[in-house]
Structure formats: C-alpha cells, structure tokens
Amino acid sequence: MKAQSLYKIPSTIADNALVTDAQYKKMYQESIINPNGFWREHGKRIDWIKPYSQIKKTSFDAHNLYIKWFYDGTLNASANCLDRHLQHDEHKLAIIWEGDDANKQRNLTYSQLHQQVCQFANALLSQGVRRGNVVTIYMPMIPETIVAMLACARIGAIHSVIFGGFSPDSIAARIIDGASKVVITADEGVRAGRTIPLKNNVDEALAHPDVQCVEKVIVMKHTAGPINWVNDRDIWWESLITTASKHCPFEEMAAEDPLFLLYTSGSTGSPKGVLHTTGGYMVYAAMTHEYVFDYKKDDIYWCTADVGWITGHSYMVYGPLANGATILMHEGVPNYPSPSRLGEMIDRHKVTTLYTAPTLIRSIMAEGKDKFSHFDGCSLRILGSVGEPINPEAWRWYHEVIGKQACPIVDTWWQTETGGILITPLPGATETKPGSATRPFFGVQPAIVDNQGTLLEGKSEGNLVILDSWPGQMRTIYGDHDRFILTYFKTFNGMYCTGDGAKRDEDGYYWITGRVDDVINVAGHRLGTAEIESALVAHPHVAEAAVVGYPHDIKGQGIYAYVTLNTGVKEDEPLMQELIRWVRKEIGSIASPDLIQWAPDLPKTRSGKIMRRFLRKIAANEITQLGDASTLADPSVIDALIVTRLNK
C-alpha cells in the first residue's frame, strides 16, 4: 500500500545524527522507567540560577491534580536565550529577518539582540511593568516582537501574544481576561503586499467599554503609515529606547513562575488562556528543538509559523534561541509574491531546516512543480510539518520537490497545551511513513482509549490520551483552574485528554486522525465552532447557527455555517456577505465562513441538542452515508437541508 511505504533514513543524515534508532529506544525506555533520573540530567541543558534538587511532582488524578517540574530551581528564560551565549557566540547571528518586500533585510547578532532586550526591559520597567504583570503583545513578524517577548521574560512579566489576524473584539476579550496594563503594538504590519492596521485595531479594542485596565500603549514604528494618537496613553517604542540603559539584570524566577499566556480555542466557551511556566517549558522547548530538528550549531533554521501561535513561541523563539541557533524570520507569507518565494528564501539564506504547515505545502503544490524549476535547495537537511494531519500526497511532494528526496520529514504532533512536540520522528532514528507522526518523544506516554476510557492495546483506533506528565505541559487555564481540570482530565480520569483521535499501527506508529471534539483546524489555525456560532448568533437577524468543518483542498478544513434567520428576514446574498463580514469583525479574518447555508431548521434530538454528525456529512457532500436518523425530533429537516446543499 502506497500510503504505508517506509522511507529510510538518508545515510548523510544517519552518519551525523544526534540519535540513532538504538539510542532512541534506550533513551525512551529510560525516560519512562526512571523519569526522575532522566530529567535530572536533561534539565541541565539550560542554565539555572539556583539548581533544582526536586524533579517531578505530578498527578493526573482529576480529584487531586498537580503538575510541578524542577520546582525548587530558579532561572530566567531571557538569560537562557541571550546572556549565556554571549561568552562564545556574541557575534553569531540570532535573527535573520526578511520583510514582506524581499529588499528589506535585517540581521541581529546575539549581542545586539541582548542589548535591545535589555533596553526594552528597562523601558517596560519605566512604564510601571513589574514581575507577574500581564503584558499584551500585538505585533507583526519583526525582530522587535521577539525583543518584546524576551524583555517581558527578563523582568518576570507574563507576555500574552495575540496573533495579528484577530479583530479588535478578540483583542479586547484577551486584554480583559489577562487584566493587562500595557499593550505593545506597531503602527502596521505587512502581509502579502497589504498592510494590517495593528494600532487602529488596538485603538478599537481599547474603546470597548469593558476594557478599563490598559494604561499604556507602546507603539513600534514599522511602516510609518498613518495612525491615531492618544496623548498620555500612547508612547513610541523609539522614544522609550533612546533613554533606556543597555544594562538590565534579569529577575530570578522560580521554575513554576508563569512565563506566558497564549489563548487557544476549545470546543466550548471563550478562548482559554493557556498558562506555561518557566523551568519545565524551557527545558522541553530547548530539548525538543535540538533532537527533533537534529540541531547543529551552523544551522539556519526557518520556522514559518507566526509568533502569535504556540509554534512561534516554542520553535521560533524559546527553543532555538535557548540553543543559540540562527533563526530566519519572515514577515510575509512564503507564497507571495509568487509560490517560488519559499524556494528563493531557502536558497538566499542557505536554510538547513524548514518547519512549516501542510496548508502551505498544499497551496504551493497546487501551483505546479515548474514554480520550483530554479530552486536549488542543496542547503536543506531537515523538513518539518506541524499544525494538522499532512496528507500523504502533500508529504511526498514536500519530500520530492522541496527536500529532493534527501531530507527526512519530521511530522510533529503537539498542541498549544503541550508546550512542545510530543509525537514525532527523530531524523536519525525513525524511518518515516507519509502521514504518520510516528513515535513518542522522550518521556511521553501516548495511549489510545475507547469512549469509555478503556486502554486499547496494539493496533487500534480511538481517542489519543497521554498517561503521564512531561515538563512542557501547560499548568492551568489563566484564572480558571476548574476549567483546566474539567477540560483535560475529567473525560478520562487519570489521563490527559488531547481532543484528538488517533490510530496506532502494527509498528506502534501513531497516525493522528483529527479532532474528536468541536474544534476545527482551518489552514493550521485552531478554531472552536462554538465561538463562530456565538459570533453569528450575535447578529440581530440570526436566530440560530451551527458551524462544522468540511474537507477543503488547501486549508485542510473549511468553515461551513448553517444559519437560521429570524422570522420575516429574507435569505439573500447581501445578508450572506454581511454575515461573513460580521464574523470577521467579531473574531478576525481567520474565522470567516467559507460557505453559509440557510437552514430554516436544524436537525435536533428530542431534547433539543443539535446533531452535528448530520451537518458534517451534508457539508462534506456525503449524503448517501448519513446513518441512523431515528433519534431526530423531525427527520424531514435533514431532507430540506440536503436539497439546499445540492443546489449550492
């Protein structure tokens, strides 16, 4: 079977790899049998101010849950990403930056980055930011965003980065949740030739009557585009820097002190503020970055994720910088102004390691191989994939056209909540199968359970759970610890519930099949269907809405919304367009529905629960396999929806 074919480890990789298959097996076993001994050693990969003597204190019992790692040690994350490289690598490049316009290029050495972080940390202190405060960052993909994150970490402030695609309402909700006093932004961002009005979006968010906490907005001048200015509240980044000292001692943080908050969507309710702490997260991010990408000190490492997502946090900032790597940071999108941009950038900067998402691969693939006829690619060693299941066709295309059949692909499965990669091949150790994330990383115990929580052995399919803690795990949902326990540990008591489905094959390889809850994954962006439904229902003409994902060639999943209008409201095209704009305004462009279908009624059980199973099938055009409709209050609703779907 083609999808099952095994890809051997290229000898050029195997000969110099950090870990061979035999070493992987030995280390994995040790990490499970003796986690304290294993992590006692591996925790030393980062610098501690006060070394830890305690390693792991964890319990996944929902009635008595605790997660602590290296918990009597102290450290600083920014010092780990900067200060400790100054002695030997101060002139090494930390960041190579390329703008949306390829003529805009900037480089920063470790020493320059360190200096900028110190100055900006002093600037934050001058604005009253203190240890434990939440600072919101809404910035484009420019080095200053990393400066802002590391400056927060330096003084012990908790950063909360918001992806630039979120709307003012979404920004407001996150600012309120974190009670953030300071917001850092830029005048505008640039993406695929268009500007993004970041400062204006912040202004609109702050005009929200419930946002009372923000005292200062620090603005980085990036495009010099027009913006509004609020005296006494807004301050230019540059003006703060010119007077700031280049020396800033780092705060001594406890291992379990918070490092950052990052909001992510769940199956119910508003986005959750995922809280990561300092010690375990740093150890795990640095260690996975080194092993999964078989990191070598001369690598040029390019992660195409936006810094507003967890991939940007762990594998553009904290992991690689803790390891002293040179990263490539790109402001725009890798397929603009043409699909060949990706290859041009790899060749221009001699990229050795590329970490990207299946949706990007599919979109370039759709343009045809000839776009890569001038692509050399000989600098590349390792390719990575993240964010959603990669279909075998895209995997093979990535392997052949980008990797020239010489680069292992690491298909890395993980989540915002897990902080770092949990299931992945290791380049020198794991033979790969297109579409499989393969085997667990050290210390990670995945398992498959049925819907009753019974562990399934051997070859099986069901819910993916993790049986024991790993250092990079989230510690709580900010301000709502009960929700944390309920969401992740109550479904199957004693296990971390991932919300993903998975298969395990005869070789013990894992194949992620996608979410089993009401979360959809659109172009690698994670969205709760409930969030989009609440946005739609907030429109004055909408009575009810049900949102599902449907198969989409490029994005993996598209957003399909069934909308019931209030009595008397006309179902027409202008209203459909208005609803799309409305969702964009309420949540952001990433949540904008691809298809809206008017639904005079929705299929419901007798107790009034919407039966999404049917809606998913109809959206996917799988109307011959609808399954048992006997529990529906009114089965004729389904027929009406099918007729409308067929006419679409």
Please select the residue that binds ligand 6R9; options are 74, 167, 170, 264, rule is CB under 6 A: 264
Please tell me whether residue 416 binds ligand 6R9 under the rule CB under 6 A.
yes
In this structure, the number of other CB atoms found within 10 A of the CB of residue 275 comes to 21
Q: Examine residue 319 and tell whether it contacts ligand 6R9 (CB under 6 A).
A: no
Q: Which of 168, 319, 332, 499 binds ligand 6R9 (CB under 6 A)?
A: 499
Collapsing DSSP to helix, strand or coil, 421 comes out as coil
C-beta closer to ligand 6R9: residue 84 or 503 = 503
For the bound state, the minimum distance from the C-beta of residue 492 to ligand 6R9, rounded and expressed in Å, comes to 16
Binding-site members for CoA are 191-194, 311, 335, 584
Task: Indicate the annotated binding residues for Mg(2+).
Answer: 537, 539, 542
135 is a contact residue toward ligand 6R9 (CB under 6 A): no
Distance in Å, CB of 476 to ligand 6R9, minimum:
16
Binding residue positions for ATP: 387-389, 411-416, 500, 515, 526
Q: How far is the CB of 75 from ligand 6R9 (least distance, A)?
A: 24
Residue of 517, 481, 483 lying closest to 498 (CA atoms): 517
Q: Can you read off the two tokens belonging to residue 560?
A: 């399909």
Q: Does 310 bind ligand 6R9 (CB under 6 A)?
A: yes
Tell me, letter by letter, the H, E, C secondary structure of 66-112. EEEECCCCEECHHHHHCHHHHHHHCCCEEEEEECCCCCCEEEEEHHH
- SS3 string, 448-512, reads EECCCCCEECCCEEEEEEECCCCCCCCCEECCCHHHHHHHHHCCCCCCEEEEEEEEECCCCCEEE
Q: Candidates 256, 294, 306, 500: give the one binding ligand 6R9 (CB under 6 A).
A: 500
Given 311, 353, 436, 491, the residue binding ligand 6R9 (CB under 6 A): 311
Would you count residue 414 as binding ligand 6R9 (CB under 6 A)? yes
**Least distance between ligand 6R9 and beta carbon 382 (Å):** 15
Stretch that binds ligand 6R9, among 211-219, 279-287, 391-399, 414-422 (CB under 6 A): 414-422
Q: Binding site, residues? A: 191-194, 311, 335, 387-389, 411-416, 500, 515, 526, 537, 539, 542, 584
Pick the closer one to ligand 6R9 by CB: 332 or 419: 419
CA 129 → CA 119, 122, 140, 251, 255, distances in Å? 14, 9, 22, 13, 21
Separation in Å, CA 393 to CA 232, 325, 389, 400, 447: 55, 31, 12, 11, 27
Contact 517, 531 (CB under 8 A): no
The rounded distance, in Å, linking the Cα atoms of 18 and 40 is: 20
Which of residues 321 and 437 has its CB atom nearest to ligand 6R9 in the complex? 437
Task: Select 73 or 556, whichever has its Cβ closest to ligand 6R9.
Answer: 556
Q: How do 519-522 and 525-528 pair as beta strands?
A: antiparallel
Residue 160 or 564: which CB sits closer to ligand 6R9? 160
Provide the phi-psi class of 552: left if phi over 0, else alpha when psi is between -120 and 50, else beta.
Answer: beta
Identify which of residues 116 and 498 has a Cβ nearer to ligand 6R9 in the complex: 498
Q: Is 409 in the site for ligand 6R9 (CB under 6 A)?
A: no
Write out the two tokens for 105: 């290029």
430 binds ligand 6R9 per the rule CB under 6 A: no
Shortest distance, CB of residue 415 to ligand 6R9, whole angstroms?
4
Does 619 engage in binding with ligand 6R9 (CB under 6 A)? no
CB 496 within 8 A of CB 72: no
| Least distance to ligand 6R9, CB of residue 113, Å | 25
Q: Identify which of residues 388 and 533 has a Cβ nearer to ligand 6R9 in the complex.
A: 388
Nearer to ligand 6R9 (CB atom), residue 98 or residue 500: 500
Q: Provide the mask over 577-606, with x wherever binding to ligand 6R9 is found by CB under 6 A and - wherever it is not.
A: ------------------------------
Q: Would you tell me how many other CB atoms lie within 10 Å of the CB of residue 306? A: 22
Between residue 332 and residue 391, which ones bind ligand 6R9 under the rule CB under 6 A? Answer: 385-389
Other beta carbons less than 10 A from residue 460's beta carbon? 15
Q: Say whether residue 432 binds ligand 6R9 (CB under 6 A).
A: no
Q: State yes or no: residue 439 binds ligand 6R9 (CB under 6 A).
A: no
Of the candidates 128, 121, 178, which has an alpha carbon nearest to the alpha carbon of residue 155?
A: 121
Nearer to ligand 6R9, 137 or 206 (CB): 137
Q: Which of 160, 185, 521, 529 binds ligand 6R9 (CB under 6 A)?
A: 521
Structure tokens at 135: 């600072």
Where do the H-state alpha helices sit in 490-606?
A: 529-537, 573-586
Decide whether 119 or 359 has the Cβ nearer to ligand 6R9: 359
The CB-of-171 to ligand 6R9 minimum distance in angstroms stands at 18
Residue 486 CA to residue 473 CA, distance in Å, equals: 16
447/637 with CB nearer ligand 6R9: 447
Burial of 141 per CB tally in 10 Å (0-12, 13-18, 19+): buried
197 preceded by a cis bond (ω within 30 of 0)? no
Number of Cβ atoms within 10 Å of the Cβ of 366: 11
| Residue 553 burial (10 A CB sphere; 0-12, 13-18, 19+) | exposed
Q: Which of 412, 436, 491, 557 binds ligand 6R9 (CB under 6 A)?
A: 412
Q: According to the binding rule CB under 6 A, does residue 468 interact with ligand 6R9?
A: no
Which of 437, 495, 563, 619 is in the footprint of ligand 6R9 by CB under 6 A? Answer: 437
Of 233-241, 305-313, 397-405, 614-622, which part binds ligand 6R9 (CB under 6 A)?
305-313
Count residues contacting ligand 6R9 (CB under 6 A)?
23
Dihedral sign, CA of 466, 521, 485, 604?
Answer: negative
Enter the tokens of residue 155. Answer: 């003084």
Q: Which part of the chain contacts ligand 6R9 (CB under 6 A), choosing from 10-18, 66-74, 201-209, 307-315?
A: 307-315
Least Å distance, CB 486 to ligand 6R9, is 18
Residue 318 binds to ligand 6R9 (criterion: CB under 6 A)? no
Q: Which two tokens stand for residue 323?
A: 């390891």
Q: How far is the CB of 444 from ligand 6R9 (least distance, A)?
A: 14
Q: Does 55 bind ligand 6R9 (CB under 6 A)?
A: no
**Closer CB to ligand 6R9, residue 294 or residue 500?**
500
- DSSP type of residue 6: P
From 392, 284, 322, 313, select the one nearest 35 (Cα to Cα).
Answer: 284
User: Given its phi and psi angles, is residue 40 left (phi above 0), alpha (psi -120 to 50 degrees) or beta?
Assistant: alpha
Out of 55, 96, 512, 559, point to the residue binding ligand 6R9 (CB under 6 A): 512
In the complex, the residues that contact ligand 6R9 under the rule CB under 6 A are 264, 309-311, 385-389, 411-416, 437, 498-500, 512, 515, 521, 526
